[in-house]
Structure 1
Amino acid sequence: MSIWRYDSQMARAPTTSDVFNAVGDIHRRTILDVLLSGEKTVSAIARDVSLPQPQASRHLRVLGEVGLVTCRADGRRRLYRLAPEHLRPLHDWVAKYEQAINVRLDRLEDYLEELQRQGEDDGS
């Protein structure tokens, strides 16, 4: 049996331990995107992300375990809501790299301005 086939048949752990692992899955990121517009039921989320409801429920459970979504009862319905404040560890980690990129872009801008000045001086 090929390794690809073996991997696709293996059960995956439905839980993750932190925000980084939770958002590592494309379906969970898509669910977070869907919840940006406000509270939704699991059936609405499943429809919006084109997943079967049980699979959407498993992803919502993972997101809830790390605090990225909350759930509240509204009669017989359960409404899920984004809890973006729990994205802070991810944001802080990415911010370091954003700062490094901005430093490099600033140096590139300075270099290009210097080249432009040299071209203007040569053409005078």
Structure 2
Amino acid sequence: MVGGQDYGFFLIDSSDQDLTDVIRLGLESRTVSPRAARTLRDQLLDHHFHDVEVAVHTEVVTDYKLMSRQLKSAAEAAVAKALITEADAAGWLSEQAGRGRRDRFLAAVPTLLVSATA
């Protein structure tokens, strides 16, 4: 069995989903292969494994504190890549912190799990 996260499927609720999607690209830029997990099935099949099955485990996070560092890192990366302005990042981070204070924060982090036999 092998597995990994695919940041293309990473979900963060926000009032500005377009901005959130751009910030998620910032998160992806901090990862060596942010979408590698989606190729695991092909890789196993290419290496002659059998009975290849794919499952997705999704961790739902409603505690802002658990994700706050990762969100800040993503926003900083988006600014560094000139995808958004510092004001955009600050406003988005403020919204996410506010969601946390009001118990309205929501993120979903999927992990692809691929099993096979040799």
**TM-score, normalised via structure 2 length:** 0.25
Larger radius of gyration: 1
> Comparing both structures, which one devotes a greater share of its residues to strand?
2
**TM-score, normalised via structure 1 length:** 0.24
